[in-house]
Structure 1
Amino acid sequence: MVRHQAAVQDTSFNEAGDHFYDGRFHNEDAVPPNTLAAFFGVMKRYITERKVDAFPSEPLPINTLNQAQLLQLPDDALFVIRLGHSSILLKVYGEFWLIDPVFSERASPFSFLGPKRFHRSPIDLAELPPIDKVLISHNHYDHLDKTTIRWLSSRVKEFLVPLGVEQDFVRWGVSRQQIQSFDWWQELPIKQGLIAFTPARHFSGRGLSDGNRSLWGGWVIKTPHESLYFSGDSGYFSGFSEIGRKYGPFDLTMIETGAYDRDWPAIHMTPEQSVQAHIDLKGQLMMPVHNGTFDLAFHAWYDPLERVAQAADQRGVTLLTPIPGTPFNVRQPVASEPWWQALMPQKPAQP
């Protein structure tokens, strides 16, 4: 494996594959280009279109955690804890890892404006144990939180990021020696097994001028006893089958299921497509992520969970929908419950 160290300091990315050209990264399955007309069309919808049930009317259930509880989890197994949206805490045979950690109140460049959390994180930053690894899928604000990374910078052994994202980290004060950047299909052997960065169908950018100047993707985590897949953000594409052939089957897939819309079908999946992606990946258990924390689209907050539950039932897929903050062992998963249904508006009784 060729390991990209943080020594990458320019934007040429000569080590990147053929998906980098003209100064930007590109999808394997083409995505329609962003245009001003499309942008203003979406903005008009945000201004004029009435949203229904965009936010929960009551507090969401949360299992609050502290460091002592995490340290008490056995060191001879792998535990998964969904913190909300796409943020995941793992305990991997004694080591603590984070995936796409966002602890801020808003998924936004501003502290006073932008999508606000429906619920607080199940664990405060100050209660986290020492973190060995942080894995980042891409640099959008709901996956890469500057405030969180700055807080973690002196408390994390290493950050694993897509090509180009290391430049953000260095600007934020993270030491280059802590960062490893990855191209698609690059692998990192670790003492627990293997980590690999895999393609997705999406895009990147945190401002008006940096679109697709860093890479995006998902993560594969393989240990002697478990195989996990985290999708990051992605539209449905043929790459899921390729990942399944190369690294599957997976004991657990953590797949984007939320923030979909008719105006951006190429970069986010419908819940039905998310279930199909899980099947393509040869997954056993599916945990839908990217929902239930921020309002990022036009659908109701509970729509992703309700639709994915129906699609999974129709396709014979075993779904895991733990209450945020609930630790579970992949080999002994918790019983799932449709916790969101109790918070959905009640339909009028039929006459």
Structure 2
Amino acid sequence: MRRFTCGWLVPLFGALLPFGAAAQDCEPRHAKSAQAAGECRFQNPPNPMAKPHRSSWDIWSRMLLEKKHGTVPVDPVPVRRQDRAALDALDVSANHIIRLGHSSHLLKLRGKWWLIDPVFGPRASPVTWAGPKRFHEPPVALADVPQIEGLILSHDHYDHLDVPTIEALKDRVQRYFVPLGVGARLREFGVAADRIEEFDWWEERKHGEITITAAPAQHFSGRTLWDRNKTLWASWSIRSGNERIFYSGDTGYFPGFKDIGQRLGPFDVALMENGAYDSYWPTVHMTPEETVQGFQDVGARMLYLVHNSTFDLAFHTWQEPLQRVAALAEQKGIVLATPEIGEALTLGKPRANKKWWEGMK
């Protein structure tokens, strides 16, 4: 039997099993959102550029019947291990981004620790015995994760909101910053309600010295068949001192990138989704060409690629997203960051980018 591996089909996979959070009651604040769609659901804004999706039947048939080639690395993915001593040694006056894999990142922002979409579990799945399996171990052991000032979530899909990770870290996280509706997920997993802050798009708040703003994205949400789009999805702006970080979350290409850049930029670095795209589902993930265009629309100084190299979530080869964007970046003179898993990138510090995937099978 074939594995269920497509990232946006993971919620459907969960619906076939007695796992995953159930649909939530509608909260009055959600109904007032500009993204509200009625029946306690959210929607994307109109996008005249959006391409049509294939039918659910076509997608399921392809997932079950089509053979994949080269979607999982044969050679070991290089991982730079980071223990607690190495983390503590990072300059407390600077802003650092440590790649944990896929879209998961550990940030040290002027001495304070933050997490983005942390997934330390073995699979992007509602269960541990089936679903997309990690290509590599996390570069930081859960036991070495320090006290976390803030944890940011982009949406509730299994490859971004991981229950074992949330449960393991809930006593080490001071505050959670999530899109509308995702707070109910966290409360179900044992997180205290008074430590959760929910955001609609364009809402901005400060936590200590950090300013966090939720911004638009073009995606969808849900962890079962019955709760599709019951929670909102978002991209995020993080401002620490004089430096700004943009994180796209999961998104298709949409005109809103330009608005984000104009309202929240300029950004020093943009963590842009690059992986799990396919012509069968063109509006929920970006092709490499769209990733580059979205980056140019946002107007950041450095393009940092995420959402690849950890899980088998589509039909393209595992190296393809990196190869295609690297070629485009070279043609267009874009400053590119493709850090190895576990590598720490320090904003404002010169670095030599490495195409670590080259020559790997």
TM-score (norm 2): 0.90
- The match for 2:337 is 320
Find the partner of 2:29 among 14, 38, 45.
14
- The match for 1:179 is 196
Once the two structures are superposed, residues 29-52 of structure 1 have per-residue CA deviations (whole angstroms, 9 ceiling, x without a partner) of 357898xx8222112112222211
Secondary structure at the counterpart of residue 342 of structure 1:
coil
What code does the residue aligned with 1:142 have?
D
Check if 1:128 corresponds to 2:128: no
User: Map of 1:137-152 to 2, 5 A cutoff?
Assistant: 137-152=154-169
Check if 1:240 corresponds to 2:247: no
- The match for 1:158 is 175
Q: Distance in 2 between matches of 1:328 and 1:223?
A: 15
User: Map of 1:68-107 to 2, 5 A cutoff?
Assistant: 68-107=85-124
Moved more, 230-239 or 47-56: 47-56
Secondary structure at the counterpart of residue 340 of structure 1:
coil
Q: Distance in 1 between matches of 2:212 and 2:46?
A: 24
Secondary structure at the counterpart of residue 181 of structure 1:
strand
What code does the residue aligned with 1:287 have?
Y
Q: Distance in 1 between matches of 2:325 and 2:28?
A: 38
- The match for 1:337 is 354
Check if 1:255 corresponds to 2:265: no
Evaluate the alpha carbon distance shift between residue 240 and residue 13 of structure 1 in structure 2; reply closer, same or farther with a 3 A threshold. Answer: farther
Pairwise CA distance, 1:10: 4.1
Q: Distance in 1 between matches of 2:34 and 2:239?
A: 26
Once the two structures are superposed, residues 290-349 of structure 1 have per-residue CA deviations (whole angstroms, 9 ceiling, x without a partner) of 0000000010000100011111112221100111111121100431111101204xxxxx
Q: Distance in 2 between matches of 1:333 and 1:340?
A: 21
Q: Distance in 1 between matches of 2:352 and 2:272?
A: 19
What code does the residue aligned with 1:20 have?
A
Q: Is the 8 A contact 1:195 1:222 kept in 2?
A: yes
Q: Distance in 2 between matches of 1:276 and 1:121?
A: 30
Q: Distance in 2 between matches of 1:13 and 1:243?
A: 27
Once the two structures are superposed, residues 84-110 of structure 1 have per-residue CA deviations (whole angstroms, 9 ceiling, x without a partner) of 000011000111000000000000011
User: Map of 1:180-195 to 2, 5 A cutoff?
Assistant: 180-195=197-212
Evaluate the alpha carbon distance shift between residue 47 and residue 309 of structure 1 in structure 2; reply closer, same or farther with a 3 A threshold. Answer: same
Query: Relative contact order (alpha carbons < 8 A, sep ≥ 6): 1 or 2 greater?
Result: 2
What code does the residue aligned with 1:209 have?
W
Moved more, 188-197 or 157-166: 188-197
What code does the residue aligned with 1:21 have?
A
Q: Is the 8 A contact 2:110 2:240 kept in 1?
A: no
What code does the residue aligned with 1:322 have?
P
Q: Distance in 2 between matches of 1:18 and 1:285?
A: 31
What code does the residue aligned with 1:335 have?
A
Evaluate the alpha carbon distance shift between residue 338 and residue 263 of structure 1 in structure 2; reply closer, same or farther with a 3 A threshold. Answer: same
Q: Distance in 2 between matches of 1:69 and 1:13?
A: 46
Q: Distance in 1 between matches of 2:55 and 2:303?
A: 33
TM-score (norm 1): 0.92
What code does the residue aligned with 1:275 have?
V
Once the two structures are superposed, residues 63-85 of structure 1 have per-residue CA deviations (whole angstroms, 9 ceiling, x without a partner) of 00111111111111101111100
Q: Is the 8 A contact 2:265 2:298 kept in 1?
A: yes
Check if 1:217 corresponds to 2:234: yes
Pairwise CA distance, 1:19: 1.3
Pairwise CA distance, 1:131: 0.9
User: Map of 1:247-286 to 2, 5 A cutoff?
Assistant: 247-286=264-303
Q: Is the 8 A contact 1:13 1:20 kept in 2?
A: no
Pairwise CA distance, 1:154: 1.0
- Report the identity percentage: 44
Q: Distance in 2 between matches of 1:33 and 1:178?
A: 40
Q: Distance in 2 between matches of 1:215 and 1:333?
A: 37
Q: Which runs of 5+ in 2 are unaligned?
A: 1-23
Evaluate the alpha carbon distance shift between residue 193 and residue 156 of structure 1 in structure 2; reply closer, same or farther with a 3 A threshold. Answer: closer
Q: Distance in 2 between matches of 1:150 and 1:104?
A: 11
Q: Which runs of 5+ in 1 are unaligned?
A: 1-8, 345-351
- The match for 2:78 is 61
Q: Distance in 2 between matches of 1:305 and 1:194?
A: 30
Evaluate the alpha carbon distance shift between residue 286 and residue 32 of structure 1 in structure 2; reply closer, same or farther with a 3 A threshold. Answer: closer
- The match for 1:348 is none
Secondary structure at the counterpart of residue 357 of structure 2:
helix
Pairwise CA distance, 1:225: 2.1
Secondary structure at the counterpart of residue 358 of structure 2:
helix
Aligned length: 334
Once the two structures are superposed, residues 264-291 of structure 1 have per-residue CA deviations (whole angstroms, 9 ceiling, x without a partner) of 1111100111011111001110111000
